[in-house]
Homo-oligomer: A and B are copies of this chain.
Amino acid sequence: MSILAIGTVAFDSIETPTGSADRVLGGSATYITLAARFFCEPVRLVGVVGADFPAPYIESLRRCGIDLDGLEVDPDGATFAWAGRYHADMNGRDTLATHLNVLQTFSPILPARFRDSRIVCLGNLDPSIQMQVLDQMDAPELVICDTMNFWIDHTPEALEALLGRIDCLMINDEEARQLAGESNLMLAARAIMAKGPRILVIKKGEHGAIVLDETSVFAFPAFPLEHIQDPTGAGDTFMGGFAGYLTRHTTFTSDSIRRAIMYGSALASFTVERFGPERLLHLRPEEINERMAAYRRITHLPDVQPLTWTNGSYHG
């Protein structure tokens, strides 16, 4: 089953309390496709890089089976580059530099054979570019979209229009509060779903996620990790694993969405173990099954029988 991801392909320069990495392979489209490829084929990437983008980076993606016919190489430009420094607790981070470079003029034209993709992942980008991709699709069954505070602030109309055309929005808790103008997360969630998306995934980093669909609310914890080197790409990996798992289904039920969330979270738990996409590039599929089994144990909730108060222990 086919999946298409549009997003950034980037140089990431990262500092965390455990070390640093300079101009490693990064970007939302990179992480989304590297996670999705464990579940489906073809995995199609749409993005742009500059003439400076190293052949070995292209080769690592190709070796993972990613279809790169939608990766434009701009001979006159430099690749998008991001630099950031994570705080001591690895949750917050400061952006040190953002060089848009080739992204400034990016206007994606999809290869004709990409247009029938069944699931579309719109990685974080200008909402008008995300819309431009949607306009080129035939009839995707599921459109999943990420965004960020910058677009919520600066391009609210374009974002509103986009929200009316996607199935699933995947954002973090602060972005959800900001988008809805409401500090209670559950009320914010209802307000956002009223704008269009019938599935809303609110990511809370190390605290897991809350997922709402038309009929249910699902709260689940992240996989607790002892050794985190670099959180970069965790959210995009989560999206890729989520979307990838769903390609194996013909309908998107609450249960399949919950399983997809678990796979997305399990995949993300690998990404953060090493700098950049290193762990994801070399991940063995058996490791995913092992981590899912551990995840099941860690989140296992035993059955609960209704309490009875026949022994007089309750005083009302």
Interchain CB contact under 8 A, A258 and B300: yes
Which segment, of A23-31, A162-170, A202-210, faces chain B? Answer: A202-210
**What's the number of copies of this chain in the assembled complex?**
2
By a CB distance below 8 angstroms, the chain B residues around A99 are: none
Interchain CB contact under 8 A, A90 and B183: yes
Known interface pairs A65-B315, A220-B221, A313-B41; A183-B17 also in contact (CB < 8 Å):
yes
By a CB distance below 8 angstroms, the chain B residues around A37 are: 313-315
Cβ of A38 within 8 Å of any chain B Cβ, yes or no, is yes
Interchain CB contact under 8 A, B307 and A38: yes
- A301 partner, pick from B184, B222, B225, B299, beta carbons under 8 A: B299
Cβ of A55 within 8 Å of any chain B Cβ, yes or no, is no
Which segment, of A4-12, A70-78, A149-157, A289-297, faces chain B? Answer: A289-297
By a CB distance below 8 angstroms, the chain B residues around A210 are: 221, 224
Of all A-B residue pairs in the complex, the 10 with the closest CB atoms, nearest first, are A65-B315, A219-B221, A207-B207, A186-B226, A255-B302, A289-B306, A41-B313, A89-B183, A285-B309, A88-B183
Q: 14 new A-B pairs (CB below 8 Å) besides A90-B183, A219-B299, A220-B221?
A: A17-B183, A38-B309, A65-B314, A90-B184, A184-B225, A184-B226, A184-B228, A185-B206, A207-B221, A258-B302, A285-B307, A289-B306, A296-B301, A299-B301
Cα(A295)–Cα(B309), bound, Å:
20
By a CB distance below 8 angstroms, the chain B residues around A315 are: 37, 63-65
Cα(A112)–Cα(B206), bound, Å:
46
- A299 partner, pick from B41, B220, B285, beta carbons under 8 A: B220
Known interface pairs A177-B89, A307-B288, A314-B38; A219-B298 also in contact (CB < 8 Å):
yes
Cα(A19)–Cα(B86), bound, Å:
36
Cβ of A262 within 8 Å of any chain B Cβ, yes or no, is yes
Cβ of A216 within 8 Å of any chain B Cβ, yes or no, is yes
Cβ of A316 within 8 Å of any chain B Cβ, yes or no, is yes
Which residues of A in the span 134-159 have a Cβ within 8 Å of any Cβ on B?
none
By a CB distance below 8 angstroms, the chain B residues around A223 are: 219
Cα(A293)–Cα(B301), bound, Å:
12
Known interface pairs A226-B186, A312-B41; A296-B304 also in contact (CB < 8 Å):
yes
Cβ of A113 within 8 Å of any chain B Cβ, yes or no, is no
Cα(A72)–Cα(B88), bound, Å:
45
Cβ of A131 within 8 Å of any chain B Cβ, yes or no, is no
Residue-wise, chain A 83-115 has the 8 Å CB interface mask toward B (1 for contact) of 000001110000000000000000000000000
Cβ of A218 within 8 Å of any chain B Cβ, yes or no, is yes
Cα(A113)–Cα(B129), bound, Å:
73
Cα(A208)–Cα(B298), bound, Å:
14
Cα(A185)–Cα(B302), bound, Å:
24
Cα(A177)–Cα(B204), bound, Å:
19
By a CB distance below 8 angstroms, the chain B residues around A90 are: 183-184
Cα(A255)–Cα(B302), bound, Å:
6
- A285 partner, pick from B226, B228, B316, beta carbons under 8 A: B316
